Amino acid sequence: QCHDIDNANRVFSTITYKTNAIYGAMFKGFISNKMPEKLFDLLDKMVIEPDDVNLNFIFNACAQLNNARAMRIGNKFLREKLNQIRNNNIVLNSAIHMLMKFRDIRNAEHIFEMIKKKDIFSYSSMMKGYVENNMPEKALNLFERMPLNPNDIIYIVTFNACSKLANGRAIEIGNKILNQSLKQFKNNYIVLNSALHMLMRFNDIQRAEHLFELIEKKDIFTYGIMMNG
């Protein structure tokens, strides 16, 4: 992979007129290879303004690195380019993810409220951020307000929120959505493992054992959850 990046760098350096698409190809390579610092180094030399696609890569790199340099770059571009991206859900969702990594909950909520047509990724970015920042109540509040049909990511995040909270409300919501989603996700072991972990946190051993038996393709995490529980 590093060899591929070196080759790409050599080709890149020979190109006289570099477009956003050419920068984007490099940025994508750095993101895929978990090299956000190299993306920032190239960004410092960039002589054209990044388009929406490249802003998306920049915000992803900031979320990956999540240090003082990342915060400075991410906040700068978000502030300067907000008008440019205000109708682009993909970039705004990346900005939410980045801000949640920065633990900047207030600004993440501000961006979320700005999005006119919130999609499933807008909700999952916010909910995941809440859970990662130890705010499971807020994740459940948002889940209950969501007007869209949940997908597997939403279910996983909601099960994780219920696991963290493990109170009366969490037990009620967790069991309700498990009943609703069981048929739909009976072959999705990631969703089922999240539900299994939740049931063990609820001390609902009987139902956890029943769910464990339902999982056809048990992986190391399935067994680990049951044994630790």
Q: Is pLDDT larger for residue 100 or for residue 11?
A: 100
Residue-wise pLDDT tens digits, 33-44: 999 999 999 999
pLDDT at 229 over 80: no
What are all long-range contacts of 152-158, with beta carbons under 8 Å and residues at least 24 apart?
152/185, 152/188, 152/190, 152/191, 153/120, 153/124, 153/128, 154/120, 154/123, 154/124, 154/127, 155/181, 155/185, 155/191, 155/194, 155/195, 156/190, 156/191, 156/194, 157/124, 157/127, 157/128, 157/131, 158/127
The mean per-residue pLDDT over the stretch 167-173 comes to: 97
pTM above 0.95, yes or no: no
Provide the pLDDT for residue 16: 86
Q: Given a cut of 60, is residue 18 above it in pLDDT?
A: yes
Average pLDDT of the residues in 1-15: 78
Which is more confident, 184 or 142?
Answer: 142
- Confidence at residue 1, expressed as pLDDT on a 0 to 100 scale: 54
Q: Which two tokens stand for residue 42?
A: 């190239």
Confidence tier at 2 by pLDDT (50, 70, 90): low
pLDDT tens-digit map of 65-105: 999 999 999 999 999 999 999 999 999 999 999 999 999 99
Mean pLDDT value across residues 199-216: 92
C-alpha angle 124/138/208, rounded to 5°? 75
State the amino acid at position 106 in one-letter form: R
Cβ burial of 209 (10 Å; 0-12, 13-18, 19+) is middle
